[in-house]
Amino acid sequence: MSRMTDTSPTHAFDIATHLEPKPDGNLIGHTSDAFWNFTGPFGGTTAATLLRAVMEHERRIGDPLAITVNFCAPTARGAFDVALREVRTNRSTQHWTAELSQPDAGIAATATIACAIRRSTWSHRPLQPPPAAAPETLPALPTEGMMAWMGHYDFRFALNMPRRMGRVPSAEPASALSHVWVADKPARALDFLSLTAIADTFFGRIFHVRGALLPIGTVSMTTYFHADAGDLAAVGSAHVLGVADAKVFNKSYSDQTVDLFSRAGALLATSHQIVYFRDVAA
CB nearer to its own copies: pick between 16 and 268? 268
Query: Cβ of residue 82: shortest distance to its own copies, in angstroms?
Result: 15
Alpha-carbon distances of 86 from 17, 113, 164, rounded to whole Å: 20, 10, 46
CB nearer to its own copies: pick between 143 and 222? 222
Query: Cβ of residue 123: shortest distance to its own copies, in angstroms?
Result: 5
- Given a contact cutoff of 8 angstroms between Cβ atoms, the answer to whether 20 and 28 are in contact is yes
Query: Cβ of residue 33: shortest distance to its own copies, in angstroms?
Result: 25
- Given a contact cutoff of 8 angstroms between Cβ atoms, the answer to whether 48 and 103 are in contact is no
Strands 93-102 and 79-89: antiparallel
CB nearer to its own copies: pick between 25 and 126? 126
Query: Cβ of residue 142: shortest distance to its own copies, in angstroms?
Result: 28
Alpha-carbon distances of 77 from 8, 29, 36, rounded to whole Å: 21, 11, 9
Strands 178-184 and 153-159: antiparallel
d(CA 159, CA 163) in angstroms, rounded, equals 12
Spatial CA neighbour of 42 closest among 241, 217, 206, 240: 217
Query: Cβ of residue 200: shortest distance to its own copies, in angstroms?
Result: 15
Query: Cβ of residue 243: shortest distance to its own copies, in angstroms?
Result: 11
d(CA 156, CA 181) in angstroms, rounded, equals 5
- Given a contact cutoff of 8 angstroms between Cβ atoms, the answer to whether 207 and 180 are in contact is no
CB nearer to its own copies: pick between 33 and 279? 279
CB nearer to its own copies: pick between 62 and 151? 62
CB nearer to its own copies: pick between 23 and 230? 230
CB nearer to its own copies: pick between 47 and 227? 227
DSSP 141-171: PP-TTS-GGGGGEEEEEEE-PPPP-BSSPPS
Query: Cβ of residue 97: shortest distance to its own copies, in angstroms?
Result: 6
Alpha-carbon distances of 165 from 100, 204, 209, 247, rounded to whole Å: 33, 12, 11, 22
Interface ranges with its own copies (CB under 8 A)? 65-66, 68, 70, 72-73, 87-88, 90, 92-93, 95, 97, 99, 106-107, 110, 112, 114, 116, 118-127, 169, 173, 175-176, 209-210, 219-220, 222, 224, 226-228, 245-253, 255, 259, 267, 270, 272, 274, 276-277, 279, 282
